Amino acid sequence: MSERHGIARGSTSGPVKFSHADIVKVMLGVMLCMLLAALDQTAVIPAVPAMGRDLNAHAQLSWIVAAYLITSTISTPIYAKLSDIHGRRKLLITCLIAFVATSMMCGAARSLGQLILFRSLQGLGGGGLTALTQAVIADVVSPRERGRYQGYISAVWATASLSGPVVGGFVAQNLSWRWIFWVNLPVGAAAIWVCRRGLRRLPLPARVVKPKIDVAGMTLLTVALSVLLLALGWGGVLYPWVSYQIIGLAVSGAVLLRLLVYQERRASDPLLPPRIFASASYVGNFIVSTLASFLLFMCLFTIPLYFQLARSSTATQSGFYIAPFMLSSAFGNIVGSKWGQHFGTMRGGLRVAAGLAFFGLVWLAALPPDTPPWMVILGMIITGPGIGMSLIGSITSAQNALHPEDIGAGTGALLVLRAVGGACGSTLAGTVISGANRAASSFETVYVIAAAFAAAMFIVAVRMPNTVLRSSMHAFSVPE
């Protein structure tokens, strides 16, 4: 591959200009990657019971989902940093090949242990798809113009979120759960072909000195996140939250994170460069992104349970009831992107988004048990755009605050904490509902807590710098 890009390795040439046609080619590859990862995750969940019946295993089924979550989360920042060193295209294609190969292995699994192992390996590829697609977008579209193309991404997310559970349930009931994984083969092959052709002109890293891999940082981050995610997954399920097992895992994770901070400060080429956290704009968006993910997964976890437990709806009906929330969230993605394109800054949009989320969650918390379903749906429609705007606005604004050579590392750090925030949101919601014996009043408590986090998100958005979104790929703006 030739080094035809903005700042080639050892080159002093100017940045390559991407035409609309060039960007569309890149976006097509990105959308296929996102569709592949999103459909796999959303389609697996409703098929888990069928997997247990077929493999004659009914314990530890949650690890089919948890194994993928853990490995995809811990690999996200590692792939992102490696892409800053070696470039996005080759690494993304490698992740696609790994994802397709492990999907085939999952479909051929003959025991629950094999399936969990193969799902963990699949997560190593899936983590790269998540991180690298976001970094690729930042490589070819300036933050100010990203709204022009973000609608494509939002459409893919909405399609996967709505169709994934339906497709997964249908396939598991009428065909075999193994087809959920085997269908990744033709989709993955198409994604590999499109990415090989469409991503040829992506910029290569601008590095004159040979980079050094931060092996110690990667190891510490991997072990720390694994320990913390295990604590979240096991707490209140296998062990009580106040048990020595969970407390020991939490303390161990905190110690490992402290060692990671020490390592990153002394490393010559750190996995998570401390300089990215010196930007108040990046840190503010980093926090908003984490809180928005926390609220998203809290809602995704509780809305179906609310309709099943408090409204006596069937599982199928509750799946349809969550559609308005998912569609409104995708609409919020589009509005957030257009906001940045129109106003040239995201702080005002994040304030509006946090306010909408807060108002919608307060609405849901205040509804009496016998309220008509349409009022519940209205609360979801108010909350969804606020969360969607926060998610897309925060990542766009955070990438805007990063130097080009830190795009991968900064995006990876944001995405990994977003994943941890989502895990915390669903875990906290599950703890509150279970602790109240799944009474209707427990959902009010969940939404009161969620509203408090939305208020915190609003405060962060108020206090963060009002950084102007760049209209070019390499020119930087300063906060107003």
pLDDT tens-digit readout, 135-157: 787 777 777 776 666 667 777 77
Mean pLDDT, residues 272-297 taken together: 90
With 50 as the cut, is the pLDDT of residue 226 above it?
Answer: yes
First-to-last C-alpha distance (Å) of the chain: 41
Q: What is the pLDDT of residue 13?
A: 40
Mean pLDDT, rounded, of the chain: 80
Please answer whether residues 296 and 387 qualify as being in contact, where contact means their C-beta atoms are separated by less than 8 angstroms: yes
Which residues are CB-neighbours of 396 under 8 A, at least 6 positions away? 143, 146, 336, 337, 340, 346, 469
pLDDT tens string 362-388:
999 998 877 888 898 999 999 999 999
Q: Whole-angstrom Cα distance, residue 369 to residue 278?
A: 47
- Residue where the block lists tokens 């891999």: 213
Q: What is the pLDDT of residue 436?
A: 53
**How many CB atoms are located within 10 Å of the residue 170 CB?**
14
Q: What is the pLDDT of residue 11?
A: 38
Q: Whole-angstrom Cα distance, residue 241 to residue 63?
A: 19
Q: What is the CA radius of gyration of the chain?
A: 22
Assign domain 1-212 to its CATH architecture.
Answer: Up-down Bundle (1.20)
Q: What is the pLDDT of residue 20?
A: 73
**How many CB atoms are located within 10 Å of the residue 342 CB?**
11
Q: At what angle do helices 347-366 and 280-305 cross, to 10 degrees?
A: 30
Q: Whole-angstrom Cα distance, residue 125 to residue 105?
A: 13
User: Could you confirm whether domain 278-480 is CATH 2.30.140.10?
Assistant: no
Residue 309: half-sphere exposure toward Cβ, Cα within 13 Å: 16
Q: What is the pLDDT of residue 14?
A: 46
Q: Whole-angstrom Cα distance, residue 363 to residue 375?
A: 9
Q: What is the pLDDT of residue 12?
A: 36
pLDDT tens string 176-219:
888 888 888 998 899 899 888 877 777 666 555 566 677 888 88
Q: What is the pLDDT of residue 8?
A: 37
Q: Show the 3-state SS of the chain.
A: CCCCCCCCCCCCCCCCCCCHHHHHHHHHHHHHHHHHHHHHHHHHHHHHHHHHHHCCCCCCCCHHHHHHHHHHHHHHHHHHHHHHHHCHHHHHHHHHHHHHHHHHHHHCCCCHHHHHHHHHHHHHHHHHHHHHHHHHHHHHCCHHHCHHHHHHHHHHHHHHHHHHHHHHHHHHHHCCCHHHHHCHHHHHHHHHHHHHHHCCCCCCCCCCCCCCCCHHHHHHHHHHHHHHHHHHHHECCCECCCCHHHHHHHHHHHHHHHHHHHHHHHCCCCCCCHHHHHCHHHHHHHHHHHHHHHHHHHHHHHHHHHHHHHCCCCHHHHHHHCHHHHHHHHHHHHHHHHHHHHHCECHHHHHHHHHHHHHHHHHHHHCCCCCCHHHHHHHHHHHHHHHHHHHHHHHHHHHHCCCHHHHHHHHHHHHHHHHHHHHHHHHHHHHHHHHCCCCHHHHHHHHHHHHHHHHHHHHHHHHCCCEECCCCCCCCCCEC
Q: Whole-angstrom Cα distance, residue 272 to residue 269?
A: 9
Q: What is the pLDDT of residue 52?
A: 81
Greater model confidence, 214 or 462: 462
Q: What is the dihedral of CA 442, 447, 453, 459, to 10 degrees?
A: -140
Indicate if the alpha-carbon torsion angle 325, 331, 334, 340 is positive or negative: negative
Q: Whole-angstrom Cα distance, residue 436 to residue 443?
A: 9
Q: Whole-angstrom Cα distance, residue 199 to residue 70?
A: 28
Q: What is the pLDDT of residue 460?
A: 95
- Where residue 220 falls among pLDDT bands split at 50, 70, 90? confident
Q: What is the pLDDT of residue 291?
A: 94
Q: What is the pLDDT of residue 61?
A: 67
Mean pLDDT, residues 280-301 taken together: 90
Please answer whether residues 129 and 92 qualify as being in contact, where contact means their C-beta atoms are separated by less than 8 angstroms: yes
Which residues are CB-neighbours of 479 under 8 A, at least 6 positions away? 280, 281, 465, 466, 467, 468
With 70 as the cut, is the pLDDT of residue 408 above it?
Answer: yes
Neighbour-count burial of 246, counting CB atoms closer than 10 A to its CB (0-12 exposed, 13-18 middle, 19+ buried)? buried
Please answer whether residues 400 and 388 qualify as being in contact, where contact means their C-beta atoms are separated by less than 8 angstroms: no
pLDDT tens string 50-74:
888 888 876 666 678 778 877 888 8
Give pTM, 2 decimals: 0.76
